[in-house]
Every structure is written in structure tokens, then in C-alpha cells.
Chains A and B, each alone.
Chain A
Amino acid sequence: MTRGRIRARLRRSHLYTFSCLKPSTVEEAPHPLQGPGFSRTVYCNQPLLHEKKPLYYCRNDISTTKYNVLTFFPKALFEQFRRVANIYFLLAACLSASPISPFSPLSMIAPLAFVVGLSMAKEALEDSRRFVQDVKVNRRKVNRHKSDGAFGPRSWQSIMVGDVLKVKKDQFFPADLLLLSSSYEDGICYVETMNLDGETNLKVKRSLEATLNLDNDEVFKDFAGTIRCEDPNPNLYTFVGNLEYERQIYPLDPSQILLRDSKLRNTEYIYGVAIFTGHDSKVMQNSTKSPSKRSTIEKKMDYIIYTLFTVLILISVISSIGFVIKTKYQTPTWWYLRPDNIEYQYDPKKVGVAGMSHLVTALILYGYLIPISLYVSIEVVKVLQATFINQDIQMYDEETGTPADARTSNLNEELGQVDTILSDKTGTLTCNQMDFLKCSIAGTAYGVRSSEVELAAAKQMASDLEDQDSDLSNFPLPKAKMQVSWDNVKKDEEIGLDAVVTSKGDDDQKRAIKGFGFEDDRLMNCNWLKEPNADDLLMFFRILAVCHTAIPELNEETGVFTYEAESPDEGAFLVAAREFGFEFCRRTQSSIFIHERFSASRQVVEREYKLLNLLDFTSKRKRMSVIVRDEEGSIFLMCKGADSIIFDRMSKNGKMYLEATTKHLNEYGEAGLRTLALAYRKLDEQEYSAWNNEFHKAKSAVGADRDSMLERVSDMMERELILVGATAVEDKLQKGVPQCIDNLAQAGLKIWVLTGDKMETAINIGFACSLLRQGMKQICITTPVSDSVASDVKQAIKDNISNQLTNASQMIKLEKDPHAAFALIIDGKTLTYTLEDDMKHQFLALAVDCASVICCRVSPKQKALVTRLVKQGTGKTTLAIGDGANDVGMIQEADIGVGISGVEGMQAVMASDFAVAQFRFLERLLVVHGHWCYKRIAQMICYFFYKNIAFGLTIFYFEAFTGFSGQSVYDDWYMILFNVVLTSLPVISLGVFEQDVPSEVCLQFPALYQQGPKNLFFDWYRILGWMGNGLYSSLIIFFLIVTIFYDQAFRADGQIADMAVVGTTMFTCIVWAVNCQIALTMSHFTWIQHLFVWGSIATWYIFLLLYGMLSPEYSKSAYQILAEALSPAPIYWITTLLVSVTCNLPYFVHISYQRCFYPMDHHIIQEIKYYKKDIEDQHMWTRERSKARQETKIGFTARVEAKIRQLKGRLQKKQTMTISAPS
């Protein structure tokens, strides 16, 4: 790492006023650790003591695998036989060894072994992937104290409780550690807990005063201490324990605990003792076993299987009754069966036993109704589909080098049925990187570059204007006049667009500076000196450079300062200040040094600002201030904060730019930018010292009201401000997010944003992603503030919220304008009430009516609860997408969990079902792969049932002709091959390669996606249709053949068809019929489908030929059957033709009829593509593309439409005015 130099040690605590300053006067008593739950004892630096009981704790290696080498076989086998169908087949296989079985044991066991073996192989493969992941984590290295003060790298897995570790900057903590000391003198360190709770703000952790001196490698030679603390638990925010060190006992609290999987930031190194390792660590205790999810289709498939089981039992009972009757009344006369000397299962004297044993036989015999290979075929198909998802080059992220990853393949088709997307914000929609983009100083707006939102909207607008043009000409107004004025409007618009587009042109070369996207020559290169309000500009830049808590870091290679700031906004401000010529270069205990440049000639003046006080940023205060004394000795309070807060605190003469700034702020907000207002106040000496006394008093106060005192005192100072300007920072959305949201919205998906961020931020991002727009009615549901803590308060609050909900619902109901859109914004605190049972349905009803829903300040648990509410409340398929550990709950709860990979934290990805590198890939994942997979699987399952019904029922019919004796007309091998070889590959190729429309059409016509959520391809109508088709085919196949081969000769030589001939002919017809059927079902034939479908038929003949060539010892009645008996007989071939055509006729008529008279969207598009109409008539193609979307109120298309409606409205008003004026 070419990281800069070691930073001068600095007591960071001076930078903080109250948030992390702990009054050192208060001595806390050690925690009384008694009773169960507090049994853990850790001997620091003596890990060897922990090698045996009772101090043996679990090791630090983690394992997320389901099986190990020993348990794999029994456990995986057990898993397999949890499927009802498999149990049935297992029983059948067991019984096949007994004389009851109609088949040879091999023909029952072989397919089962194949099916189960394949599923287990898949299971093993998936588990081994998890294992590799674990190994990777376990092999990470960390510096551990070996002995005598020497530290050396050890892998994570060999870390033991009690080990002293040295963790360096940007490393993850390998276990839960007790912080001993850090590179900072006062033992603080910064921790990024994004993996745990998704918060991007750095957290400060402080070591105990007592261990501060343990700050270099050598001192650990003799270090020893004992920690007694609570037992492992999943609570991230609590810790109770005592440290016994140098014969003193110190209490420990969560601020000394560094949690596994959080990351050390802004701190060179820390020393710590491992307390909880491996699965004892809090984050692992938190991890829940990922629930095994099943797709809706698969759940429905179970019902079909149950239906088929019912049919199976029904026909078994029927045939058993038939058998009993036959046996009782007829068999005694069938002397050729020797009824006087007969086995129990046919014995007419013991009809009961015979009937029961026949029932078992029948259950096995008709087992072909239940497709044994269905599960395994589906599994194979899904794995292949998943491979295609993984291989999709258009979901590969070049920047991070991560392809998409379908981690569990059993939800592929669920991707095609998603109704609601619940998205995390930070890291998912945004990259958590801020770019300084615009500012308004002294009432003048600077910064010409457009935000991404503006760009995207402009692009969309440009492409839509054409269409709207024609729409507008329908106005019943004087044409010429209208045209003129509309042209004017349009021209304005176009000028705007031009500006946008040109600014985009030279966009890319300047992107070099991270965090700085500003572009305006009036301010750059010291040109600001020529601006009219140069003084205000100067003040603005100084505030940017001074008012912060960051630390500069010199990159020695480039000589440029970079900044380590608590929040990325602050970093962006400093970079901006640097670029404007106010380079923050040094911070000491009491001063901030700025390199100020007043001319382009690189002449730099270093100015010192003495830092007198720092009033921190908290989410409650929404502002931060510094009080500094400059070199001239004047004292300034510089303040930045949310505009609403600053505007409330302005002095009378500070409101000079208020109006212009407000206007600019609105514009920025509309453009999706985060804004802060900057203000200052000049203080005189007495005023300041008077206040400072107060402040000190408050600071050194002890007790509960210290914080409120501090706040009150700060508040006193932050008044009478003079507004300078405002900044607009772009919270950079990830690439393509607005487009993706737009397209998903057009595909009819609802998008909810659940974020841990503040409401303001969330709303800004809502604007940025076009989930919100100007003119949308925002419904904010918040908790009323109340100070009392009485017990009835809760009820009062709930009533209040309930009222808010009812009012909002009323408002939506009363709204007349069809274009009106509502946005629901709710915060986490309110959610705790609304998610309670009595209110959640009211909340859900409201949320469903709103075009967009944004939940802010929600905890990970609430995310999961909201997801569950949507999932269960609407009964629709939900998809949750997120990147951090805080999204894990929601990802696991949703029907489909998608993790953002490529970022460092792996928790979300580990819990997810699919991982993509960027949010924008979601579009392709859903609209292309989801759509395809849904249709493929739906068609495949329907076809599966069809083919097994068509085959299985012929066995039943034949039974009736054998006196229900359980004889099958087919050779055992035919039956084995039917499911495993002869019909499996075509159906797999259907499931893997079928495409109704190509991928680009899926993307161009997002409305096609709705076929999935509407479940057009797997409704009962369709399933029963297919089953009926199977029934029809079975009837046709059986009765045609039985009648054709009835009793006469089937060859010119006079031979009569025996059972083998009839069975083989029937089977030939089945193979032809079902394979032709699948060929009719497919709409997309690559060479693979051709090979599989026609190859299957060919395989049957080849098999029959080869099987017949085997010695009769093996082939039995099929010996030479094709070569000798069947192929010379014309009737065999003619029958095959007749039966296969007749079987497929109804389906063919059905699809022709449907396509002719009730074409579905994909039919039309296929036809357009087939006739290349899209190329011939491009206008039509683009028009249809623009129409092919769901009515949507979110996304920038909706925003553009709203804008156009607005323009139209304005135009109409103008028209009426111009018309009415002359008259």
C-alpha cells in the first residue's frame, strides 16, 4: 500500500464537544457480574489457558456449510426423502423386491437412485461452494501477539480467545475484541459497521484509560489481565463485563468492544484482546440459518402432485375393486391359472388379502403418473438456468470484476413473478460517494454540470417529445397559433436540453477528481475574485474549509491532500474547497491551517484558524458549527446545516440572499441533490467569552441533563446567522439506477425504499431516483413529539398515527385527478407502531395505494418486518435487494433476496439468493432471465404432467384387459427409459433454451413481464388443460392401437400381434406423440432442441434395435422385435403416423386458434419479428415500445410525462387567454 505517512498523533477527543467526550471525573463502579449468563472468563494474552475445559471456547473458524464429509450422506439423504414423491418411490422400490411388484426391482431402483443421486450431487456442489467461501474467510491473516512482544501474522481460524491482536487500518476485526489502545493517544478508533447495521457513518470506540499505555508491541510481553463478561449473545449493542488489570477492576461497556466483521477506519492500528471467537461472536450469533425458500410455482406443483396422487389412489382402488370382482367370480373358472393351487395375491378364496396386495401392486404400477424425474429434471434445468445467469456478460460489472451469481437456483422462475421490490438505499441505489456539484453563493447559482437525474430526464424527454408533439396537435384550438406557441415552449425546452447535452460532452475528462463534479469557470482558477460578491464567496470557501471534523492526509506521490472525514459529504466539501483554492492542509490540537490561493499564479498563503469550539453534528441538531479566531483576531462562528434549521436562525440583516437561495435550493432538490445551507456570524470578544464560560460549565457538568444543557448552550450561540449560500452535493447514484427504476416501474413493479438514513436524505434520494418528483403529494407519517412518559402516551401516539393514516387514505380516495401520485414517507419510529398487529393492515392498505413508499430510519429488524408485511399482506411475490448486513433480515424474509456483490461486506450476499454487482442489473435479471425462467419452468412442468399422464394411464387401461391382474404391456426397460432417457432431454432443453422473445425485446417491452406476476402460464386453467390433453392422448394411444391390433394378422405373413408387439407399438406411439407435442410447445429451435427432440425419437429406435440384438436372455420378449417383427410390417409405421398426428391435433388446433383470434402479446411480437416489420416500420416499433409499459407514477418517464402535462396545461391556459382576449 502506498499510503501516505504516519500521521502525527493527535488527541482526537478535542474535536468533539459532547457526543463522545466522557467526563473523566465520573468513576463507574465495576459491573456486578453474578448469576447465569455472565460466566465467561478470558485471560488476556494467555490463550493457552483456553485450550482445555472449562475455559475452552469455540475456535475462530466459522462454518456455514450444511454438511461435513461424515454427515453429508445421511443428512442429504434425509433431505431428499422429505419429498413426498421420493418417499413414495422409495417404498415402491422396497416393495419391488417382493412378488407383489409388477416390475423388476432394477426398474424401480435405478431411476430412483439416479434421481436422488443427482440431487445429492447438486447439494454437494452447492455446499462445497460455501465451504470454499468459509475457507477464504478463515484463512484471512491478522497480526497476533506471539510471545515476547513479537507480533506475527496468523490466519483467522487459529485465533483463540485471549489472543492479543493488532489490527491495521481498513482491516476487518477477526473476532469480537476488547479495544486496548490505538494509534491515537487517547485510545479512540473509528469503526465502520456497515456490515453489521448498514450505517455508513463511522463509529467511535474508546479504550479504557487504564490500558492506554499498551500502545506498542513490546509492552505486551508482560501484559496480563482477566476479563469476566457475559456469555455469547446476539445483541449487537450491549456488552457487560469487567476487566481485571493490574489488580484493579474496570467496568467494560459496548464502546470498548470491536465487533467481528466491522472494519477499522481512519486509525492506523489498534491492539485488542479476543473475547468472543468464531460462532460465539455477536455477528455470527446474529446470523440466522437462511430459510430454504421455494418458489410459488414449486408450491403449486406440490398441489398438482397431490392431485395426481389422488388420481393414482383412485385408479388403484378402481383397479383393485375390479381385480377383486374378477378374482372372486371369474378366476375360479380359469382353469389355466390353476386356481386350486395359487399364490395368495391371486387367490379367489382369500379375496381380501388378494385385494390388498393388489392395491399395493397397483400403486406401484401406476406410479408413472407421478413423474419421478420431474424434480430432478427441474433441478437440472434450474442449475443450467443459473449458469446462464452467471454467464450473462451483460450482468458482469467491469469495475469490480464481479459477474452475477445465482446462489440458489431454486428461485429462478420466481424472478419472473415479482410484484414488489424492497430496496436498501446506501450501497444499493447509491454508491455512498458524494460529489460536490453545485452551489449557490450570495444568491447566485454556480455550477453548470447537470446531475444524473437531470441528464436522464432530459434524455428521456428528448425521445418522448416527438410523440407528445403529435398528441398535442389534437387540441381543439386554432392550429397555427398553437403550433407557434408550442414551438416556443419546445424551443425553451430544447435550449435547456442542448445545454444539458453539451455539458455532458466534455464530462468525462474532468471526472478525475473524486468527490468533485463542479464545473463553472466563474469560480475556478481564482476567477471568483472578479465576481461581484467576492467577499461572500471568500466567506463561503472559508466555511467549507474550516467547518468540519476531518483530518488531512498528504499523499506523498501526488502531493495532493486527501481527507478522512466522518461522512462523505464532508469529504466532498473539503475537496471542493481545495479545488477552489482553499486547501485544508494541517490540523493541530487547537488550529486549522488553510493554504489560501488568491490568484492563479499558485501563490499560496497559509492561514491559521484557531479552533475555539466545535459544536458537533447530530441528527437531532442537523447542523454543526465551529468557532474560530482568524489571524486578524476576529472570532467567527461558522455553521453549516439543513436549510430549514439555518433559515430559522438568521439575523434580520442576514436574510439578504434568502429568497434567491431558497429558489436555488428547491431547484437542487428537484435535481436530486443533497443540500446544506452555509452561514456565519461574527462575534465580539466579550460576547464570546461570556458564552464560553457557560459552555465550559455545561461541559463539565455531571448528570443526566448534561447533554441537554450543552445543547441549550450551543443553541444560544447558533443564532443571528448571516446566510452565505448553499451547497448541493450529489449522492452519486449507482450507474444506471434511475433508468433501471424507470424500466422496472414500467414493467409494473412497485418499488419501496427502506433505508437507515435520515428522512431528508431519503427524500433526496427519492428525488434522485425519480421515486419522488415535484407535484407528487408526499404523505409523511411521523410520530408526534411528546415529552411525558406516561403509560397512556403510547395509546395516544397510536391514535394519532392511526388518524394520520386514515386522513391520508381519505385524501387518496377523494383525489379526482387520475394522474395524481402519492408518496408515502414514514420513519422507523412510526413504523414500530404501524407494524403492530392492529394497525399494520391499515398501513399496508395506504402504502399499496401510494406510487412510492419510502421508509427511513428503519432498523434491520423493521426491514424484515416490513418485508413480511408486504409478502403476507398482499400475497404477492416480493424481492428484497440490499448490500449490507443490515439487509440480511429483509433478504431472508423476502421471497427472493438479492445481494449486491462486489462491495466488501459479504453478509448480504451470503444470505441472498442472487447476487448482482449493481442495482441496474436487476432489470435484466428480472425482465429477461426472470421472464424466461418463469415461462420455461411453467411450460416444462405442464408438459411433464402431460407426458406422464399420457403414459401412465395407458398402463391403467391395459389393466382392465388383463383382468386387473397387474400385468404391464411394456417391457421393464421401456418404462425405465421413458422418464430417464427418451423424454427427459427434450423437456430439459425446453426448460433451458426456450425463449418466447429475444432478450432485447424483453427489455424493450417491459409490459411482457406482467405475464409472470399475472401468472398466465401456470394457472389451473392451463394446468388442467394440459392434464386433459394427457388424458386425451392416453385414450387415443391405447384404444387406437388396441383396435388396430385387435385379433387379425398384422403382417402379410399372417402373424398375429402378441403382447410384445402391441406394447412396443404403443410405446413407439407414445414416444412420437410426446416428442412431437414438445416440438409444438417450443417456439425457439436451436440445433440443441432439434438434436434432443428428434434425437430422442431416434434413440428409441436405436435402443429398440440394439436391445433386440442382445441375446434373448436379456431382451426376453423384445428379442429381434424391431428387426424381425415390426419394421417389415407397414401397419406398424402407419399406426405410428396416425396416432402421433391424432394425439397432437387438438393442441395444434388450440394454439392455432388462440394465435389467430386471441393472440397474446408475445405472439404479436414474434410475428412482427418474423416478418421483420420492426425494421420496415420503425416508427410503429418505437411507438409500440413506448406504449408497452405499465401505467406508472414513478420513474423519470412519469416525471417527464407530468412535466409535459404541466406544460400542456400552461399552454392551454395561454391559449384560452389569447382567445378570450380579442373577444
Chain B
Amino acid sequence: MASSSAAGAGSTDPAAARRNTKRPKYSKFTQQELPACKPILTPRAVISAFLLVSIVFVPIGVASLIASRKVVEIVFRYESTCIPNNVTDKVAYIQSSADKTCNITLHVNKHMKSPIHVYYQLDNFYQNHRRYVKSRSDEQLRDRSEENSTSTCKPEDTANGKAIVPCGLIAWSLFNDTYSFSRVNQSLKVNKEGISWKSDREHKFGKDVFPRNFQSSAIKGGASLNESIPLSKQEDLIVWMRTAALPTFRKLYGRIEEDLNEGDSINVILKNNYNTYSFNGKKKLVLSTTSWLGGKNDFLGIAYLTVGGLCFFLALSFTIVYFVKPRQLGDPSYLSWNMNPGGH
């Protein structure tokens, strides 16, 4: 033992050098001493946070609600109205080749400022069904040379041995009711341009891709397409191909670019072609203006007001409770060893 001390004395220098290499380098990071902000929830911070939320939320809620209330919406459900009274088998009727024109009148109860968006709304239509969503070929839609990439489109991939363009269930089931509007015998023009997303027109649907062999199989689905118009101009198709998230959905049909006045009666000549009768789906025609927030939906405003109000209530109750039962911050008497002495 004593000898080792002698040995130690002789070998201090190299040992020290070796040691220093193992010494952890000091830095604030490695020692976990980085400067940090340590916010704590003081009563003032809590109450201010609640107040802040309510101050921000209530105005937004009011604004949203006003915006939503300003929107004028005419909804007309027509899937039963447009079936002649004597028809019992609605499905057979809709699948027949009879003339399914239907005249309806809409009443404008409130002035509607242009543009007025025309939508059709379907109910109970599962555009988001996995089989349906997948049944399309983006390559084919975009690129003329990819005409035959229809593997994802089954069973609407080929007809008569040739590829269908556009293939797949989505395109095949294209909505084919049409509407034309007139006011006091003066027709209202429905502008169907620009109803789809620009990016879709320009990048997803080819300018040189033309419908071919479409709706030529044994079972006809929905609308047919004009084979001389490229897909990028077939805006109804483009809108339809953007599948909806929910089984109840609207799709843009066109825009009426004239104001509609209060009391106006709008005549709609409606071609009721689309089969929603098999699955009891509703069909609605919707005319709606928009606000900065979009269409008519009070929910957002109500939600904002609710949360804002709740926060105000919380701010209030926290304030009251602080006054009733204040606790000084950092009061050591609340430490566990002071709260229940000996009861560790």
C-alpha cells in the first residue's frame, strides 16, 4: 500500500494528461444549465389567458355569425317532387329513357347579391367509400400517353377491349342532372366556367386528353362526356372527381352572375336523370351567396361564442375563487412537509 504512493508520485504527469481527456467538457448544454424561461401559471397569468381567449373569441364568433347570417341560401329538395305521381318504381323510372324534365319554381325571399352559386346536394352518397375513392387513374387523366394505365379503375377500366377515358367508378357515376334557370321568362345564365380548382384544370386533367369509350359499357352510370372537349375543360367532371369527405355533400354546378331580388320567382327546368332512388338518396338544388367565410353555417360562430363565453366564465370563477381563498404564490406553508407535519 505504501509502495503504491511512491509509484503514484512518479507517474503524475502522463496520468494527469490521460485523465484530462476523459474529463467532460464544461458547457452549459452538457451540464443542463442552458438559460431557460420557466413560465409559471400565476393567477394573473391564468386569468389573463382566459380573458384574452374570450376577448379574441367573442368578436370572431360575432363576426362569423354575422357573416353566416348574411348568406342567403335557397335549398330545394326535388328527388320526390320530380317524379311523376303515377310512378311507383322510382328506380325503373329513373333508369328508363323517358323524358325526365321537371319544372320547379324557387322563391327568393331575400335579395341575393351576385355571384350566386348553384350547387347540387346529394345525401347518403358515399363518395368517400374506399372502393370508390380509389377507383380512378390520375395518370390517365393527366397524360394522354398513359391512356392504358387503368389498373386501379376496375371494374370500369375497359369496355369492348379498349381503355375507358376517364376510367373508374368516380367518372362513371358522374352526376347528370341539369338545371336551367329563368326569371320572368328571361333566362338566367349559369356560368359553368371556373367552378373547379385552377390547379386541377391545369395540372391534373390534361388539355390533350379527350374522353373516349366513355359510358359505352353495358351498364351506363351517369353523365356522358363530349368527346371533342378535352378533360381540362370538362369542369363538371373535374368538380365531381374531387371526392367529398362526407356522405352528404354539395358540389358546385355553376354561378349565376346576376343579383336576384327579393320576391323574384325563379323557374328551373330540371332534368332529373341521376339515380339516387336505389339508395334513398336525397337530391337538392341549392342557390347560395357567400360571405368572406364561405357559405351558410352558424356553427363556427356559435362555437366561438361558446368557447369565448366559457373562458370568460372561467376567468370570472378563478377571480372569485382567488378572492375567496387566496394563496400567496411561493408560500412555503403549502409545501408537503408543512401541510402534514410528520406524515411523510
Contacts and interface: CB of A to CB of B under 8 A. Distances in A.
Contacts of A564: 1-3
Interface string A524-557: 0000000000000000000000000000010101
B295 A336 contact: no
B133 A967 contact: yes
B98 interface: no
A1166 B336 contact: no
Nearest to B295: A1048
B41 to A, nearest CB: 5
Given A391-B31, A1058-B243, A1130-B293, A401 B39 contact: no
A112 B271 CA distance: 53
A237 interface: no
Contact of B7 (A1, A565, A1141, A1145): A1
A268 interface: no
B128 A1157 contact: no
Given A346-B131, A1167-B40, A1184-B335, A1152 B46 contact: yes
A962 B130 CA distance: 8
A1161 B288 contact: no
Interface stretch (A121-129, A800-808, A1037-1045): A1037-1045
Given A336-B221, A337-B129, A1164-B330, A1131 B244 contact: no
Interface in A321-357: 330, 333-338, 340-343, 346
Contact of B30 (A337, A388, A1049, A1155): A388
Contacts of B40: 1083, 1155, 1163, 1166-1167, 1170
Contacts of A396: 22-24
Interface hub of A335, A1050, A1188 (most chain B Cβ within 10 A) = A335
A658 interface: no
B22 A401 contact: yes
B18 A401 contact: yes
B130 A967 contact: yes
B130 A1164 contact: no
A1142 B250 CA distance: 28
Given A1047-B248, A1049-B117, A333 B279 contact: yes
A1157 B337 contact: no
A1040 B140 CA distance: 36
A271 to B, nearest CB: 22
B292 A1054 contact: no
A1047 B1 contact: no
B295 A1042 contact: no
Nearest to B53: A1141
B131 A1142 contact: no
A1043 to B, nearest CB: 5
A1085 B36 CA distance: 5
A6 to B, nearest CB: 14
B197 A575 contact: no
Contacts of A1148: 49
B4 to A, nearest CB: 8
A1056 interface: yes
B96 interface: no
Contacts of B246: 961, 1042, 1046-1047, 1062
Contacts of B294: 1048-1052, 1054, 1129, 1131
A1047 B249 contact: yes
Contacts of B23: 393, 396, 401, 403
Contacts of B113: none
A737 to B, nearest CB: 20
Contacts of A571: 1-2
A961 B128 contact: yes
Residue from A402, A1047, A1120, A1124 whose CB has the most chain B CB atoms within 10 Å:
A1047
Contact of B38 (A1085, A1117, A1119, A1161): A1085
A1010 interface: yes
B62 interface: no
Nearest to B292: A1052
Contact of B6 (A2, A392, A1164): A2
Given A1045-B245, A1050-B294, A1134-B64, A1112 B204 contact: yes
A1191 B344 CA distance: 7
Interface string A941-964: 000000000000000001001110
Interface in A1044-1076: 1044-1063
A579 B22 CA distance: 38
Contacts of A1191: 342, 344
**Interface size range on A against B:** 35 or more
Which bracket fits the contact residues of B?
A: 35 or more
B335 A1156 contact: no
A1125 interface: yes
Contacts of A1042: 245-246
Interface string A1104-1131: 0000000111001101100011000111
A353 to B, nearest CB: 15
B197 to A, nearest CB: 6
B318 interface: yes
A555 B9 CA distance: 12
Contact of A1057 (B26, B60, B245, B330): B245
A563 interface: yes
Contact of A1190 (B292, B295, B344): B344
A1159 interface: yes
Interface in A394-418: 394, 396, 398, 400-403
A1184 B203 contact: no
B329 A1171 contact: yes
B156 interface: yes
Contacts of A336: 125, 132, 169, 172-173, 221
B15 interface: yes
Given A1049-B295, A1083-B38, A1059 B128 contact: yes
Contacts of A1052: 290-294
A1073 B329 CA distance: 29
A392 B24 contact: yes
Interface string B292-333: 111111011001100100110010001001100101011110
Contacts of B329: 1167, 1170-1171
Given A1047-B249, A1048-B296, A1157-B325, A1125 B1 contact: no
B251 A966 contact: no
B198 A1124 contact: yes
Contacts of B128: 961-962, 965, 967, 969, 1059
Contacts of A204: none
Contacts of B330: 1164, 1167-1168, 1170-1171, 1173
A1112 B291 CA distance: 30
Contacts of B342: 1191
B250 A1056 contact: yes
A967 B129 contact: yes
B342 to A, nearest CB: 7
B118 to A, nearest CB: 9
Contacts of A1007: 336-337, 344
17 contacts: A334-B278, A335-B278, A396-B22, A969-B128, A1043-B299, A1049-B288, A1056-B252, A1063-B245, A1111-B203, A1113-B139, A1113-B142, A1124-B199, A1148-B49, A1155-B41, A1157-B321, A1159-B334, A1161-B335
Given A336-B173, A1054-B255, A1135-B300, 5 more contacts: A335-B278, A391-B31, A1059-B128, A1119-B204, A1145-B311
Interface of A: 1-4, 102, 330, 333-338, 340-343, 346, 387-388, 390-394, 396, 398, 400-403, 433, 514-515, 553, 555, 557-558, 562-565, 568, 571, 575, 748, 958, 961-963, 965-967, 969, 993, 995, 998-999, 1007, 1010, 1040, 1042-1063, 1083-1089, 1111-1113, 1116-1117, 1119-1120, 1124-1125, 1129-1131, 1134-1135, 1137-1138, 1141-1142, 1145, 1148-1149, 1151-1152, 1155-1157, 1159-1161, 1163-1171, 1173, 1180, 1183-1184, 1187-1191
In the A-B complex, list the 4 residue pairs whose CB atoms are closest, starting with the nearest: A401-B19, A1048-B295, A562-B2, A1054-B117
